[in-house]
Amino acid sequence: MPTSSRFAVAVHVLTLLAWAGDEPLKSDYIAGSVNTNPVVIRRILCALARAGLVTSQTGAAGGTRLARTASDITLREVYRAVEPREIFAMHRSPPDPECPVGMIIEKVLHRQLTEIDNAMDEVLGRTTIEGVMRSVKQPSRAAKSRRTTRA
């Protein structure tokens, strides 16, 4: 289904990396936990690397590790790193510019969509990878540890 699962996988991967600490993880190993193909993992790791969230090393004894502290990586950054597309799409073809509604509806909608984007950013910015890891470690305390706020 064309709704991407990249965000879910990316959070999963980063949580594994945070869990591993300094030890670099191989795409093969990660793919095992996520239950998919190593190439799929490498593609996502590549996007995360471009966003400066992880660093990889090729060669034997290579692998990937976090480029920053887990507490410094918000889900907002993760989302932006792996989801290029906007949530909402505008009209496929431009509305009739002669119609009083059609001539301006896109501008009005765009403002709405920006507001939604901001709200999403705010919510995603509340949680860090460290927060997720804490929820994973202590499921019962999940509701609490999820509040690892920053800014």
The binding site for a copy of itself (CB under 8 A) comprises: 1-5, 7-9, 11-12, 15-16, 19, 32-36, 75, 85-96, 99-102, 104-109, 111-112, 115-116, 119-120, 122-124, 126-127, 132, 135-136, 139, 142-143, 146
* Interface residue with DNA, options 13, 14, 45, 78 (CB under 7 A): 45
Helices 75-82 and 38-50 cross at an angle (nearest 10°) of 110
Partner interacting with residue 101 (select from a copy of itself, DNA, none; CB below 5-8 Å by kind): a copy of itself
3-state secondary structure 75-118: HHHHHHHHCCCCCCCCCCCCCCCCCCCCCCHHHHHHHHHHHHHH
Phi and psi at residue 105, in whole multiples of 5°? -60, -35
Residue 82 CB, shortest distance to a copy of itself, in Å, is 11
58 touches DNA (CB under 7 A):
yes
Alpha carbon distance 122, 151 (integer Å):
10
95 touches DNA (CB under 7 A):
no
